[in-house]
């Protein structure tokens, strides 16, 4: 098997069509078909057949599909690392939940990279449900957020920070300053960040316990945007207590009290077992130190020339 053959097959699997795979790879359909034919001969498996509704993959084809993504990712990582090593530069790829990436990652990464000038850090936002797959496929080196729901002996999951999410409203909201019950909360419009779309996040679990209808849930592109709408008394937002301290002190926000107005969460680091002396292992050791915790809670400040929006893929070097 060659990398070119695996890329052709992976594109066919992802796009469901030889023609679309050829267009994406910028080669002819005949070239893609030739690569697939060579894989079929070498593996002794048809891999997939055409049906009236599209492509139907054999069990062997499905297994190759998962391995192809892993092998391609490993190859690309190896090529990059070899080039970086030639320039004495290391790379650490972090997958983070939306909440962690937006609220605390910049301060942590800036402080961590300040200790190692030869290290580039790439941050990407992932659903925690993809953490295990991304690690197994070597797409990332470490994941940060909720611990994966399914046990996996190949992964090491370590808690490093407990936090509390609290319900807040604007000063003009009808519930401001009052003690509320589950029925009142259920009837409100909830202003939510992207992490609420994940079933294992602390906020999504709270909404499930309160039985908040989906039509009462509005999800924004960022948690900051949701909190900003709450300041305008448009509804109830959930925010980390440490992130809204100043807003509560200035009365730009008011904290609700009563059952269901707060929920605790825990952030974890997740790595493949046996990471050894790698940048990922260095981060796992560093992330629980007092300096790291302070940087995550308060931010360490970033030079304007190095600032990037944390919710997108970003590079610190």
Q: Distances in Å between the alpha carbon of 111 and those of 21, 125, 243?
A: 42, 20, 19
On whether the CB atoms of residues 6 and 12 are closer than 8 A, the answer is no
Could you report the per-residue pLDDT of 193-222, keeping only the tens digit for each?
Answer: 888 887 778 888 899 999 999 999 998 888
Retrieve residue 92's tokens.
Answer: 């650490």
On whether the CB atoms of residues 139 and 73 are closer than 8 A, the answer is yes
Residue 315 has pLDDT above 70, yes or no: no
- In this structure, what CATH number is given to the domain that contains residue 16? 1.10.10.10
Number of H helices, E strands in the chain: 13, 12
Mean pLDDT of 230-234: 93
3-state SS assignment for residue 270 = strand
Q: Is 81 part of any domain? A: no
On whether the CB atoms of residues 208 and 185 are closer than 8 A, the answer is no
Residues 97 and 44 grouped into a single domain: no
On whether the CB atoms of residues 220 and 229 are closer than 8 A, the answer is yes
**Dihedral (CA of 297, 303, 304, 306) sign:** negative
Q: What is the pLDDT of residue 198?
A: 76
**N- to C-terminal Cα distance for the chain?**
36
Q: What is the pLDDT of residue 85?
A: 62
Q: What is the pLDDT of residue 185?
A: 94
Residue pointed to by tokens 């908040």: 212
Return left, alpha or beta for 166; rule: phi > 0 is left, psi -120 to 50 is alpha, else beta: beta
Residues 255 and 274 grouped into a single domain: no
Q: What is the pLDDT of residue 81?
A: 67
Residues 148 and 273 grouped into a single domain: yes
Residues 137 and 270 grouped into a single domain: yes
Q: Is 90 part of any domain? A: yes
- Residues with Cβ within 8 Å of 187's Cβ and at least 6 positions away in sequence, in order, are 216
Confidence of residue 84 (pLDDT cuts 50, 70, 90): low
Could you report the per-residue pLDDT of 233-245, keeping only the tens digit for each?
Answer: 999 999 999 999 9
Residues 195 and 213 grouped into a single domain: yes
Could you report the per-residue pLDDT of 123-157, keeping only the tens digit for each?
Answer: 888 888 889 988 988 888 999 998 888 878 889 99
More confidently predicted of 170 and 15: 170
Mean pLDDT taken over the chain: 85
3-state SS assignment for residue 233 = coil
Residue 250 has pLDDT above 90, yes or no: yes
Which of 283, 180, 284 has the alpha carbon at shortest distance from 236?
180
On whether the CB atoms of residues 204 and 222 are closer than 8 A, the answer is no
On whether the CB atoms of residues 143 and 269 are closer than 8 A, the answer is yes
- Integer Cα distance of 31 and 108 in angstroms: 46
Residue 305 has pLDDT above 50, yes or no: no
Confidence of residue 285 (pLDDT cuts 50, 70, 90): very high
Mean pLDDT of 35-40: 92
Q: What is the pLDDT of residue 311?
A: 37
Retrieve residue 18's tokens.
Answer: 């030889």
Q: What is the pLDDT of residue 170?
A: 95
3-state SS assignment for residue 184 = helix
Residues 117 and 187 grouped into a single domain: no
Instruction: For residue 225, give the H/E element and its range.
Output: helix 223-231
Residues 152 and 281 grouped into a single domain: yes
Percent above pLDDT 90 for the chain = 40
Residue 274 has what DSSP assignment? T
Residues 185 and 135 grouped into a single domain: no
- Residues with Cβ within 8 Å of 156's Cβ and at least 6 positions away in sequence, in order, are 270, 271, 272, 273, 275
On whether the CB atoms of residues 126 and 243 are closer than 8 A, the answer is no
Q: What is the pLDDT of residue 299?
A: 56
Q: What is the pLDDT of residue 83?
A: 66
- In this structure, what CATH number is given to the domain that contains residue 260? 3.40.190.10
Residues 201 and 136 grouped into a single domain: no
Residues 68 and 134 grouped into a single domain: no
Domain boundary (48, 74, 100) is at 74
On whether the CB atoms of residues 161 and 132 are closer than 8 A, the answer is no
Residue 231's domain comprises: 162-265
Residues 168 and 151 grouped into a single domain: no
Confidence of residue 72 (pLDDT cuts 50, 70, 90): confident
């Amino acid at each position: 098997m060659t990398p070119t053959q695996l890329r052709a097959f992976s594109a066919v699997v992802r796009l469901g069509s030889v023609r679309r795979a050829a267009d994406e790879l910028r080669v002819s359909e005949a070239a893609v078909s030739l690569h697939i034919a060579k894989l079929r001969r070498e593996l002794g498996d048809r891999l997939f057949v055409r049906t009236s509704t599209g492509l139907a993959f054999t069990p062997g084809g499905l297994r190759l599909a998962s391995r192809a993504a892993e092998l391609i990712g490993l190859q690309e990582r190896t090529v990059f690392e070899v080039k970086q090593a030639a320039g004495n530069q290391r790379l650490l790829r972090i997958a983070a939940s939306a909440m962690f990436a937006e609220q605390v990652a910049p301060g942590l990464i800036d402080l961590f990279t300040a200790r190692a000038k030869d290290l580039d850090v790439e941050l990407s936002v992932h659903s925690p449900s993809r953490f295990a797959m991304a690690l197994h496929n070597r797409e990332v080196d470490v994941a940060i957020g909720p611990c994966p729901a399914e046990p996996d002996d190949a992964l090491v999951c370590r808690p490093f920070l407990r936090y509390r999410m609290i319900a807040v409203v604007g000063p003009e909201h009808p519930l401001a300053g009052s003690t509320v019950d589950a029925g009142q909360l259920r009837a409100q419009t909830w202003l939510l960040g992207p992490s609420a779309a994940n079933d294992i996040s602390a906020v999504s679990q709270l909404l499930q316990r309160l039985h908040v209808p989906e039509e009462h849930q509005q999800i924004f592109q960022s948690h900051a945007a949701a909190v900003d709408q709450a300041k305008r008394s448009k509804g109830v937002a959930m925010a980390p207590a440490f992130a809204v301290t100043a807003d509560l002190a200035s009365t730009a926000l008011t904290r609700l009290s009563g059952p269901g107005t707060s929920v605790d969460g825990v952030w974890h680091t997740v790595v493949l077992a046996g990471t050894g002396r790698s940048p990922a292992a260095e981060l796992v050791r560093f992330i629980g130190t007092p300096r790291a915790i302070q940087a995550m809670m308060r931010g360490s400040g970033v030079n304007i020339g190095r600032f990037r929006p944390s919710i997108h893929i970003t590079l610190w070097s």
